[in-house]
């Protein structure tokens, strides 16, 4: 008696392959949230730097600067003390902060591309494996 090949349900295997690449799409979609983190941080820090300049010329600059400390984060030490006027310190800090966050964005981008490449490869291997089961 000859072994007859079983008819493979192409629809089921195709469904598995779609799920594999669907998982890849979800990874990419979630990655879009992480990609904007450095940009959001730069916007928030830039707003805090603008508030620091305004606070320095206000009626109670020390109290206003103390209230801005959490918003300024690591920019506080560069902005609130040092040589020059508050405007020059803020301008210098803005350049430093944007350079730092640009580097951070490049790191996030590289990691996301690596994650997507790895998950694409995993999805392709999974899909090939699933499709080979239908042939055996």
In this prediction, residue 117 carries a pLDDT of 83
46 CB-contact burial (10 Å; exposed 0-12 / middle 13-18 / buried 19+): middle
DSSP line for 65-102 = HHHHHHHHGGGHHHHSSSSS-HHHHHHHHHHHHHHHHH
In this prediction, residue 76 carries a pLDDT of 84
User: What number is the average pLDDT over the span 25-53?
Assistant: 84
For the chain, give me the number of helices (H) and strands (E)?
A: 5, 0
Q: What is the pLDDT of residues 71-82, one digit of tens each?
A: 888 888 888 888
Q: What is the pLDDT of residues 97-118, one digit of tens each?
A: 999 989 988 898 888 888 888 8
Neighbouring CB atoms inside 10 A of 34's CB total 13
Cβ atoms of residues 77 and 52 within 8 Å? no
10 CB-contact burial (10 Å; exposed 0-12 / middle 13-18 / buried 19+): exposed
């Amino acid at each position: 008696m000859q072994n007859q090949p079983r008819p493979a349900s192409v629809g089921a295997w195709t469904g598995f392959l779609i799920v594999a690449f669907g998982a890849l799409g979800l990874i990419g979609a979630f990655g879009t949230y992480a990609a904007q983190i450095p940009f959001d941080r730069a916007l928030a820090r830039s707003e805090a730097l603008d508030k620091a300049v305004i606070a320095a010329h206000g009626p109670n600059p020390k109290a206003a600067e103390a209230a801005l400390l959490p918003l300024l984060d690591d920019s506080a030490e560069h902005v609130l003390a040092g040589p020059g006027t508050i405007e020059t310190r803020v301008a210098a800090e803005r350049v430093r902060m944007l350079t730092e966050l640009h580097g951070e964005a490049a790191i996030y981008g590289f990691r996301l591309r690596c994650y997507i490449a790895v998950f694409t490869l995993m999805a392709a291997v999974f899909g090939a494996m699933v499709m080979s089961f239908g042939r055996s």
